[in-house]
Amino acid sequence: MKKLKRLIYVKLARRLSRSTTGAPVPTIISENSKIMGNIVSEGIVHVDGHIEGDITCEELVIGVKGSVHGEIKVANLQLFGLLKGKAEVNDLFVAKSAKLLGDASHNTIAIEPGAYIDGCCLRKTSVTEINQFSKDEKVVVAMPVKKIVVNDKSSRSKNN
């Protein structure tokens, strides 16, 4: 009976993997796994274990207990754990439980309060935008200013 169930499962898995309409099956690196080497995938990679190497894929999710030490080139990165290295992404999400130790270049970024980032996050188009200004041009940046009111009793008593 076990062989029959296994055969049915294998045939079903093969049929689903050939289907282009179904959702892609992610590559999962479990919590107790450690990989030393590069990973190249055309789909989704979910890391809950430890990887020492470079990753190239469509979408990468580094779980809360996951860690990656290496260079990353992905379209979409969701960081909940540790990333130590350089990241080149289109869409970057850094959760409050995440640690990003290294530089990241991105098109869009979202950072939750409490996230730890030790490095430089650069928008991919920012270098060309900065170089468009000449050295003599001044760039004005509007910043909100909080009004501070000081209650000084000695100054009020002198005015009365």
Three-state SS for 59? strand
Q: How is 133-146 classified by DSSP, letter by letter?
A: S-TT----------
**For the whole model, what pTM was predicted?**
0.65
13-33 pLDDT, tens per residue? 666 655 555 566 788 899 999
Stretch among 84-98, 116-130, 137-151 having the lowest mean pLDDT: 137-151
Residue 159 has pLDDT above 60, yes or no: no
In a domain, 144, yes or no: no
* pLDDT tens track for 34-93: 999 999 998 899 999 999 999 999 999 999 999 999 999 999 999 999 999 999 999 999
In a domain? residue 78: yes
| Residue 147 clears pLDDT 60, i.e. is over it | no
Residues spanned by the domain of 108: 26-127
Residues with Cβ within 8 Å of 3's Cβ and at least 6 positions away in sequence, in order, are none
Q: What is the mean pLDDT of residues 92-116?
A: 93
Tokens at 142, concatenated = 């509007």
Q: Give me the mean pLDDT over the 112-118 stretch.
A: 92
Residues in the chain: 160
In the block, residue with structure tokens 């920012």: 126
Residue 124 has pLDDT above 60, yes or no: yes
Total domain count, the chain: 1
- Is position 64 within any domain? yes
Contact 102, 121 (CB under 8 A): no
**How much is the pLDDT for 26?**
85
Is 146's pLDDT higher than 80? Answer: no
The single residue listed with the structure tokens 């993997």 is: 17
Give exposure, 31-40, as e/b (b: 16+ Cβ within 10 Å).
Answer: eeeeeeeebe
**Residue 69 in domain:** yes
Average pLDDT over residues 7-17: 63
pLDDT at 141: 47
Closest CA to 106 of 139, 81, 130, 72: 72
